[in-house]
Structure formats: structure tokens, C-alpha cells
Structure 1
Amino acid sequence: MMVNKRGVNKTVSDQAIHLDLVAKAQGIPGAENYFVDLPESSKNNLTYGALLNCYCKELMTGKAEALIEKMKELNLPLDSYTYNVWMRTLAAVNDISGVERVIEEMKRDAEDTDDWTTYSNIASIYATF
């Protein structure tokens, strides 16, 4: 837990939400600075996922992919939500081969690939191409 200036204990989930709000208010540089300043104990799949979501919203595919690789290096759990966020971003920049690569990675590596959100997401991506 992280204690802020007012003495409020923030959970890692709170920090992930805060990171998203910082990105909305200060842009990606602000979110990155917030992330860097987090204690190492708060850098888990929730805060990495929040930063990934920020990159994906801004269609920063290079940074998103680098962050995914970092998450893999750290052995953070990658779930279907993480892969779905990444696929939607690749689809938004018309990178269908990237989407297909992510689908294969997800089948191989994700812990929970059998959900309807994933199938729906993949179907909607293919429908737009």
C-alpha cells in the first residue's frame, strides 16, 4: 500500500485507477511519471495493465508492445483482458497481422482465453477488415 500526503492508504487497485486519471489529466508523460514513481511493490499486473490501457487508447502500439514484453519478463499474469486491449489497438491502426499474432500468443500464454468477450472482440475486429 502507498500512503499519500493526506495519510490515505491507496491499494494497488486505487493506484491503477489513479494512473488512468493522471493520463487523462496530464497525458501519457504524466502517467509514465506516476508509474515510475510507484514503489516496486505496486508495480503489478494492475498498474502495468493501466499503463498499457493508456498506451492503447492513444494508439501507441510500440510502447504497448514493449510494455507487454516487460510484463512477460516480470512473469506478470497476462489475462484475456490484456490481450483484448492490445488487439483492439492493433486493429485500430489496421495491423491485422499483428492482431493474428496476438491471438496466437493469447492462445499459447493467457490464463483465461475461453471467454465470450474475447470471441466477440475477435469477431468485431475481423468484421471491420
Structure 2
Amino acid sequence: MRPDYIYIGCFFDFDELQAAVAPIAPRRLERPVRAPHVTFVYRPEWVDTRLFGQEVTVRVTGYGNDGRNEGLRVEVLIQDPILREMALRIPAPHITLSVSPKGRPVDTGGLAFSPVEPFLLTGRFGGYLPDGTVVLAPAE
């Protein structure tokens, strides 16, 4: 049986991400996102799990916080042609850092991002399951 992924995308280590953004945003809103990611596809109909585990680099170009949502605007940098094609379809690539009790992570892409000195982050492609598990290992 194939698991039903809520979304697939590039996932980042929580602690590494917090350290990387500390110089531009030292504090989070009330609900930090514990599985920070760039969503490639929400509720995918089909998932090629052989792509899981591939390294993905993003360039952070902006920071936004409207009191409901906090996040980073990013550019996805990928060599793999399949993942690159998927990344090109993302309307507003971003990473949600945290939300308020009334915030929704899906709204982070609409923030007014302020430019930041660009820096790179590296994550891994994978999937997010309904129970909160992040799957980063390729299927065998």
C-alpha cells in the first residue's frame, strides 16, 4: 500500500535552519514549524519515492513577518531535471518558519518579503505523512 503524502518537498533540519536565520530574525512566532520545508506538491496524486533523499539547495532572498506568518522567500537550485521541473511549478517558493495561533502556513507565500543578504541552505527531498512523519529515504 502506498502512503498518502500530505505534501512532498525539500525538508531542512530545524536546528540548522534556526541558526541560519538567527541573524535576520532572532525570535519566532508562537508556533514554530518543526518540519521546515519548501512544498513542491500539495496532496500529490503520484509520488516517485526514488527521488527521496536527494540534496536540494535553496538561496534565501527575503524575510517576511506580518504577525500571523513568518517565513523566507527562496529560489530553488537543483541539478536533477525531474526535481527542477517540479520546482519551476511552485508559485511562490518559501519556507514557513512560524505562525501565530491564527496563522496558517499556506499563507506564508503571500507575505511582503524584505530583501536579505542572500545565503544558501541545503535540505533533502522527501514527503510528509498525515502522522507528521517526514520520509527522506528513497523507496527500495
* TM-score, structure 2 as length reference: 0.24
Larger strand fraction of residues: 2
* TM-score, structure 1 as length reference: 0.26
Higher relative CO (Cα under 8 Å, sequence separation at least 6) belongs to 2
Larger helix fraction of residues: 1
User: Rg bigger for which structure?
Assistant: 1
